[in-house]
Amino acid sequence: MATSAVPAAVAALLEILRAAPGLAGVRVLDGPPSNNLTERDRIYVGWQPGGDTAVALAQSFAYAGARRRDEEFTISGYAESRAGDKDISLRRNKVFNIVAAVETALRATDTAPDAPTLNGTVLWAHLTTGDLLQEQGPDGALAGLAFTIACRARI
């Protein structure tokens, strides 16, 4: 019996996002940033700037008898778009388009009917919150959108 659905759910989310047509050209990373990234558009799964946790979870008994447990958790994520210019509006629009593609990837379609269940690892998953970050740096404009994906599983 599984102790948590989190590892399988994070792996499925990464698989879904990496295969999403709307995210072609966006690098999808597992966890915090590493050095020497050259892609201007990125998604981090399990990391947000200044965040304390990759995934926050809680469990409770599903029903009397203590045989099954319900697990609710949120997966932290962060989308970022950078450019060498100073046009923050373009970066902001781009990062919202990236997160829109994340949300679209989590919806059921004829070709991906199990996307809302993260390929059967959870009962449901959906994008719930977001925080916009913007800055002008020496390398140009940057817009980032920290988001969470809420999930419910039965283990």
Q: What span, in angstroms and rounded, lies between the C-alpha atoms of 148 and 47? A: 10
Our separate counts of H helices and E strands in the chain read 2, 6
Per-residue confidence (pLDDT) for residue 1, from 0 to 100: 54
CATH number of 6-154: 3.30.2000.10
23-67: pLDDT as tens digits: 999 999 999 988 767 889 999 999 999 988 999 999 988 776 667
- Asked whether residue 141 carries a pLDDT value surpassing 90, the answer given is yes
The two structure tokens encoding residue 138:
């020496």
Give alpha helix (H) positions in the chain: 6-19, 88-105
Per-residue confidence (pLDDT) for residue 109, from 0 to 100: 86
97-125: pLDDT as tens digits: 999 999 999 998 888 899 999 999 999 99
- Asked whether residue 16 carries a pLDDT value surpassing 80, the answer given is yes
- Asked whether residue 11 carries a pLDDT value surpassing 70, the answer given is yes
Which residues on adjacent β-strands are paired with residue 126?
150
79-100: pLDDT as tens digits: 999 988 999 999 999 999 999 9
Q: State the number of CA atoms in the 13 A half-sphere of 89 facing the CB.
A: 0
79, 130 contact by CB (below 8 A): no
- Asked whether residue 2 carries a pLDDT value surpassing 80, the answer given is no
Per-residue confidence (pLDDT) for residue 75, from 0 to 100: 97
53, 151 contact by CB (below 8 A): no
Per-residue confidence (pLDDT) for residue 139, from 0 to 100: 85
Q: What is the mean pLDDT of residues 9-35?
A: 94
Q: What is the mean pLDDT of residues 5-15?
A: 97
Mean pLDDT of the chain: 92
